[in-house]
Structure 1
Amino acid sequence: MKKIIFIACSLFVAAATTISCERDISSLNVNPKQPEVVPSQNLVASSQNYLATLWVTPSVNSNISRFFTQQWTETQYVDETNYNFVTRNQPQNHYNTLMRDVLGPLKQASVFLDSEAEATTYSSADQAKIKTNKKATIELLSIFAWANLVDTFGNVPYTEALQNTTDNLVLQPKYDDAAAIYADLQTRLNAVLGTITPSLPGYSTDVVYKGNMSKWVKFANTLKLQMGLNLADVQPAAAKSLVESAYAGGVILAAADSYNHPFVAGQFANPIYQNLVASGRDDFLPSDVYINNLIAKADPRLSKYFTPLANGTYVGGPYGETATFNNFSHISSTYTGAANAGKIFDVLYVKLMLAEAAARGFNVGGDAATLYASAVNQSMTDSGVSTADAAAYLLAHPFNAANWKQSIGMEAWVALHNRGYESWYFFRRLDYPVLEVPGVADGLVYRMPYSLNEYSTNKTNVEAAASAIGGDKYTTKLFWDKF
């Protein structure tokens, strides 16, 4: 269909050219209500919103990552908790959002930015640096999105992706090797860090950092930390270099530096509020897998995360099975506020990653046990748990150096409540918690299958990609998921 549209457009252009000598009809091709050039700042802000919404939403149509780690379960519709990716085609929605709504607009923003003027209150030299800072913002958001595509699917279109102009049109892009993409993203990440001038602003309309480039540097280093940890089992030397340079360069360790996307009431309310409150639906419950673990450990976060039944007990819904909503505990209102920020990179997540990095022998400013305790305490503080209760919990559940993957993996799973993608990263790297395969599922989820639409429009390339990674199954592990 895309080819037909393109051919039809080409014939129209050719026909218009042959009669242009009689009269000028070029104005007929101009839609006065649709600008040909959009301010780049608008495209950047829009991309940030699409990215955050995809990351945070619990919608079964686009983000079912909370089920990958079995923190949540469903009530009457249980396709997603049994890892059915066909009924609602979440892979297509995830892929399209990142390609069409994030990466595509960011690429165009970079083009439009070239012709935009900077504030004349700055010198010519500083104007150039400000424009470079804006380019860096675009690049960092793009690298984040590309990394997530690789971490979600494995091999994806990259070098031939987003080639959609008439003089550079690729309708069926090839799929690039995931490890090669990762290597290129690391190169891009290091390169863009060298272009930022922290003392000058970027986009003042940047919805998270408001153009504060010192914070974008920390975002970049935090992304580098995450990518480095992902490589730890397959490229230990490269991982060590990435992680240690990220820490030395400065990662997010202060709340004010967190990359938390602001949501507001109304149309732009937090997607968790939209799906759990505003929708009026009763589709989600905390799972028994998750709640039972907290109960067994007398975890003081239990009452902060969930609501008790009338008798004061906490009961999770049976994972992967139908359940009556009112018979079980529910997600606490603390997590369903309309104006709650969407957490992507924050202090808790970084501290958990640093604990893992130290356990792997990387130099990140402390030993694993100390950083583990710091991460647990951060989670307790964020959840409103008292210092005394936090100390008692740590005393009962200290860091286990002999099985550090279990210690950190389990704590990350609990601490990252309601944060599916972040939990999924730890689960795949550390193989904790040990989860059971639900109902009719073929196994646990280590990647998303490719979009069904790709098999219709890009069949040869997607089939080659599926073969290259060992099969287009959600049980197929990514190149960096060695164990």
Structure 2
Amino acid sequence: MKKTFILSLLTTCLTIFPGCKKFLDINKDPNNAEDVPVAYLLPSAQAAISFSVGNTLGLMGGIWSQYWTQSPSASQYRPLDQYSPDPGAFGNVWETLTSDALEDLQQVIDKSTVQKKSQYTAIALILKVYTFQLVTDLWGDVPFTEALKGEENISPVYDRQSDIYNHLVKTLDDAMALINPDDPNAPGGDDLIYGGDMERWAHFANTLKLKIGLRLAKKDPVRAAAVVRTLAGKIFLQEDETAMQRFNATGGQQNPLYGAISAGLGGVSNLVASATTVDFFNRYNDPRIAAFYAPVPSGSYAAIPQGSYETYISNDPLSKPSARTGANVDLSASALAPVKWMTSYESSFLQAEAVVRGWLPGDAAALYLDGIQQSFDAYATGGFDDYAAQPEIAFPAGGSVETKIATIITQKWAAMCGNQNIEAWTEWRRTGYPSFFIESKASIIGAGRFPQTFLYPNSELTRNPNAPRQHLIYEKVWWAQ
């Protein structure tokens, strides 16, 4: 599937970038990064990130965030509901993020620095931070200081996650210092996310730094507060600034999860709605249920408890993910679902939490409601006023800090359903919210245990002598301990 995706990049390149054919026709090896201009390396890296976030991470996050569960009529994803995937299941996403996305980004940084294309450098540094945070949040300790050196170092040491977070903040600050919206040498159509709009990249960087700081809130609140407080007065992602990659119905240019299911699995539908989420939406008459799930013929939404595929004996139909999640192979519109990296509603919820913790000025209640409103708006869902007026949904202004954070994160989880799955799972690992997750009925890892980390791929453990021991899937990463 990965090779097919890379080939599709060439098709996308020819479609989007006017000068791409000339590049592809030159008598040089297009796989040799030494010969590739930054205008082609940047979209290649962005597409690799979207492929990972939208495909493997969307799938695993969707199941472990209890949005989806294995269908009783199929079997492909049973190991995920059993909490026992083989380490090999993580190899593709590890390779795509580290060997494709990050290596391309490093090439952009190296080349654009020499060529004095500072806006390319800024974007690539920001995306390097985004991608490395994703990698370390999933695996814990990973190579950083010795990574991306190619043949100079094929066995990089693994840095501690705590140290990596220090590097992320420093790298992001360096990137932010380079941003200049008036620079005429900024990217254009070769930037698949913002089209070279450097003001939006500045807002993205501010929001990313806020997320980095808050990730440390439990483990090291003093350090977290220091990071977040540097952002006072900054502008974060606004409602029309969600960072995402769009797709179309052309083969090879489709939503990556839909493409993987329709091609790799022969169109077999393995995912159905998890009762954890559907029951929550039904309990509060949340109209977004129609945006995230497909109704059964009666018009209602039917789900099963997480991992109960073996005990479900009814012939009644079950709801599947909606086309807007990219995960419904039966609906061709799934091909068009965008892959969302960071959304405006995530931005509002992050700001609300920072205000509650006393690390940023602002109105936490207003930011909380903005997050919900922007989620409704993103899916053209009416009924926000009635939804927000419910006492159980209203911001708990008189509650404790922890009660407020629980409310914010639970609504963030609801907003991310089917569209920011891996981030929702990571936020649950960080905070423990929502607090109503159930153990998968299919779990084989012991009572009271949930997936907390990704396993290192077998290929990494065997070829890198500096790789750490394989951890257990229920062991927590550093910032969650």
Report the counterpart of residue 408 of structure 1 in structure 2.
Answer: 408
8 Å Cα contact 1:203-1:211 kept in structure 2: yes
For the pair 1:112 / 2:115, whether they are aligned, the reply is no
For the pair 1:34 / 2:41, whether they are aligned, the reply is no
Report the counterpart of residue 6 of structure 1 in structure 2.
Answer: none
Q: How does 1:361-440 map to 2 (within 5 A)?
A: 361-366=358-363, 368-387=364-383, 390-391=386-387, 393-400=389-396, 401-402=399-400, 403-418=403-418, 419-434=420-435, 435-438=437-440, 439-440=442-443
Larger Rg: 1
8 Å Cα contact 2:82-2:444 kept in structure 1: yes
Name the SS for the 2:204 alignment partner: helix
8 Å Cα contact 2:60-2:422 kept in structure 1: no
| CA shift in 2, pair 1:325/1:420, >3 Å | farther
| CA shift in 2, pair 1:277/1:331, >3 Å | farther
Structure 2 residue ranges without an equivalent (≥5) = 1-25, 327-332
Distance (Å, rounded) in 2 between the aligned partners of 1:181 and 1:392: 39
User: In the alignment, residue 93 of structure 2 is paired with which amino acid?
Assistant: H
Report the counterpart of residue 260 of structure 1 in structure 2.
Answer: 244
User: Could you state the TM-score of these two structures normalised by the residue count of structure 2?
Assistant: 0.82
Q: How does 1:92-111 map to 2 (within 5 A)?
A: 92-111=91-110
Distance (Å, rounded) in 1 between the aligned partners of 2:276 and 2:283: 11
Name the SS for the 1:260 alignment partner: strand
User: 1:316 offset after TM fit, Å?
Assistant: 1.0
For each residue in 1:94-120, what CA deviation from the matched residue of structure 2 results, as whole angstroms up to 9, or x when unmatched?
Answer: 21111111011122233333565xxxx
For each residue in 1:388-414, what CA deviation from the matched residue of structure 2 results, as whole angstroms up to 9, or x when unmatched?
Answer: 654455444222323223312221221
Distance (Å, rounded) in 1 between the aligned partners of 2:163 and 2:306: 37
| CA shift in 2, pair 1:247/1:269, >3 Å | farther
| CA shift in 2, pair 1:393/1:71, >3 Å | farther
For the pair 1:173 / 2:156, whether they are aligned, the reply is yes
Residue in structure 2 matching 1:335, options 325, 332, 339: 325
Name the SS for the 1:386 alignment partner: coil
Q: How does 1:289-304 map to 2 (within 5 A)?
A: 289-304=276-291
Report the counterpart of residue 22 of structure 1 in structure 2.
Answer: none
Distance (Å, rounded) in 2 between the aligned partners of 1:326 and 1:203: 52
User: In the alignment, residue 133 of structure 2 is paired with which amino acid?
Assistant: A
User: In the alignment, residue 413 of structure 2 is paired with which amino acid?
Assistant: W
| CA shift in 2, pair 1:242/1:281, >3 Å | same
User: 1:223 offset after TM fit, Å?
Assistant: 0.8
- How well do the aligned residues superpose, as a CA RMSD in angstroms? 2.4
Report the counterpart of residue 458 of structure 2 in structure 1.
Answer: 452
Distance (Å, rounded) in 2 between the aligned partners of 1:190 and 1:330: 42
| CA shift in 2, pair 1:273/1:92, >3 Å | closer
Residue in structure 2 matching 1:208, options 190, 193, 199: 193
8 Å Cα contact 1:300-1:390 kept in structure 2: no
8 Å Cα contact 2:69-2:274 kept in structure 1: yes
User: Could you state the TM-score of these two structures normalised by the residue count of structure 1?
Assistant: 0.81
For the pair 1:185 / 2:168, whether they are aligned, the reply is yes
| CA shift in 2, pair 1:379/1:111, >3 Å | closer
Report the counterpart of residue 319 of structure 1 in structure 2.
Answer: 306
Distance (Å, rounded) in 2 between the aligned partners of 1:33 and 1:190: 36
**Aligned residue-pair number:** 424
8 Å Cα contact 2:194-2:200 kept in structure 1: yes
8 Å Cα contact 1:155-1:176 kept in structure 2: yes
Distance (Å, rounded) in 1 between the aligned partners of 2:347 and 2:428: 16
Structure 1 residue ranges without an equivalent (≥5) = 1-30, 117-127
Aligned identity (percent) is 26
Name the SS for the 1:83 alignment partner: coil
For each residue in 1:423-456, what CA deviation from the matched residue of structure 2 results, as whole angstroms up to 9, or x when unmatched?
Answer: 1232122201232222234221221121111221
Report the counterpart of residue 466 of structure 2 in structure 1.
Answer: 461
